[in-house]
A and B are shown apart, each in its own frame.
Chain A
């Protein structure tokens, strides 16, 4: 299986560990992710706050580059990228004005975009294209006894819930259970982490982050699994400030792909786990083959 791959800026910066774990896990499953040549920033939420049609132009360059590769789908792991690329597809379909602006911009660059190529998340690929049975076969170190809170955040499930439910998604729950982990009930799984408010208005943003951490601890989780680089950063990098304001909530937050890598027996040093502020406790050694 071969897909066009749009990493987004975070996976080259604060979210490096996401890419470091995603690529070897996909490779182990025979999924080839081919990085788009010369992709640009998706625009995220900040760009959309300044100019809507320019935001769509920004996204459309990536969509056009992806179509040029001839791949069947474009895969993007970052929630903001996933949302913006899908949103642009919707706007191009629904708004003649946006369509006109984007067409003019594409013409300027000699690019073409038909609008047909689906934009998908790795979770969707893993569960619906690869399949849980294939994933189960690759597990050499089951995550038995590890209690995981599955945290999806907002923008992969809302407003375009293409492969899962907007309020109670279960794709990652099922995936983690397949790895042998114990998935704890986590009713806050699609609540907002605060997004960029943690940096701009810490009093407001960090309160949201704190609530998520506290609930995961209260539910007895050992670790929070996330699918978004901004969620991971917020839940991991502000423990000092949160502890000063509300008391400590010591729980690590890792990417679901890092947990997959551990279950597949990939070396911890190669999964970016050392990039965490709050480190995950090492798992027991791989059981010897019977």
Chain B
């Protein structure tokens, strides 16, 4: 980890914006909410990490070919066009965009998924895709993390 969560918080408060948004550490948060529940000052660390990720994606600042933000963006796109996620297809897109060599190291897992009937190749999709897209498009851009700030 480049920066510990404490260092991230300190960098944010001291206005080291670029350092924070370029840090790989913000992407390592897997959203387990352990820190949020535990923090004696009731700082919602998970939500702050989300706000930083949103800002990094908005400004296009994140480590090149780093798979985590690429996964988030591909996920976002698939939901917008299909309304649902087909996990196996999402992972294949991630491999293509981030690291196609990963396919080579995962072939046994892929075969295992086919064998156990879990490798879905047909896109899951909703019927009212236009309705969902209109709902999402009705939204104007917000400051990342505005809801967490107000709710805190």
Q: Which residues of B contact A57 (CB under 8 A)?
A: 135-136, 138-139
User: Are A98 and B147 in contact (CB-based, < 8 A)?
Assistant: yes
> Which residues 78-119 in A have Cβ within 8 Å of B in the complex?
83, 90-91, 94-98, 101, 104-106, 108-109
CB distance from B32 to the nearest CB of A (A): 4
> Which residues 24-47 in A have Cβ within 8 Å of B in the complex?
38-41, 43-47
Q: Which residues of B contact A49 (CB under 8 A)?
A: 50, 53-54, 57, 69, 72
User: Are A108 and B135 in contact (CB-based, < 8 A)?
Assistant: yes
Number of A-B contacts (CB under 8 A): 191
User: Are A47 and B31 in contact (CB-based, < 8 A)?
Assistant: no
Q: Which residues of B contact A158 (CB under 8 A)?
A: 32-34, 36-37
In the complex, residue of chain B having the shortest beta-carbon distance to the beta carbon of A39: B126
Once the chains are docked, how many angstroms separate the CA of A197 from the CA of B115? 24
Q: Does A52 contact B (CB under 8 A)?
A: yes
Q: How large is the interface on B (under 10, 10 to 19, 20 to 34, 35 or more residues)?
A: 35 or more
User: Are B54 and A54 in contact (CB-based, < 8 A)?
Assistant: no
User: Are B138 and A104 in contact (CB-based, < 8 A)?
Assistant: yes
Q: Does B118 contact A (CB under 8 A)?
A: yes
Q: Does B86 contact A (CB under 8 A)?
A: yes
Q: Which of A14, A45, A97, A104 contacts B87 (CB 8 A)?
A: A14
Q: Which of A38, A109, A201, A275 contacts B116 (CB 8 A)?
A: A275
User: Are B79 and A13 in contact (CB-based, < 8 A)?
Assistant: no
CB distance from B100 to the nearest CB of A (A): 14
Q: Which of B79, B138, B140 contacts A43 (CB 8 A)?
A: B79
User: Are A196 and B30 in contact (CB-based, < 8 A)?
Assistant: yes
Once the chains are docked, how many angstroms separate the CA of A49 from the CA of B37? 20
Q: Given A46-B71, A101-B139, A200-B94, A58–B33 Cβ distance below 8 Å?
A: no
Q: Which of B28, B50, B94 contacts A197 (CB 8 A)?
A: B28
Q: Does B150 contact A (CB under 8 A)?
A: yes
Q: Does A192 contact B (CB under 8 A)?
A: yes
Q: Given A49-B54, A50-B72, A240-B108, A41–B30 Cβ distance below 8 Å?
A: no
Once the chains are docked, how many angstroms separate the CA of A204 from the CA of B25? 12
Q: Which residues of B contact A96 (CB under 8 A)?
A: 150
> Which residues 126-146 in B have Cβ within 8 Å of A in the complex?
126-128, 131-132, 134-136, 138-140, 142, 144-146
Once the chains are docked, how many angstroms separate the CA of A46 from the CA of B34? 18
In the complex, residue of chain B having the shortest beta-carbon distance to the beta carbon of A52: B147
User: Are A91 and B30 in contact (CB-based, < 8 A)?
Assistant: no
Q: Which residues of B contact A167 (CB under 8 A)?
A: 37
Q: Which residues of A contact B150 (CB under 8 A)?
A: 94-97
User: Are B33 and A52 in contact (CB-based, < 8 A)?
Assistant: no
Q: Does A150 contact B (CB under 8 A)?
A: no
User: Are A14 and B118 in contact (CB-based, < 8 A)?
Assistant: yes
Max count, chain B CB within 10 A of own CB: residue among A40, A98, A241: A40
Q: Does B23 contact A (CB under 8 A)?
A: no
Other than the known A13-B124, A40-B126, what 17 A-B pairs have Cβ atoms closer than 8 Å?
A: A9-B85, A9-B86, A13-B87, A38-B127, A47-B75, A47-B76, A49-B54, A52-B142, A95-B146, A101-B140, A105-B136, A158-B32, A159-B37, A192-B30, A199-B71, A199-B94, A237-B113
Selected A-B contacts with CB under 8 Å, 22 pairs? A12-B120, A13-B87, A14-B113, A39-B126, A41-B83, A45-B30, A46-B72, A47-B75, A50-B53, A61-B135, A91-B147, A94-B151, A96-B150, A101-B140, A155-B32, A158-B36, A195-B32, A199-B67, A200-B98, A204-B28, A276-B116, A277-B112
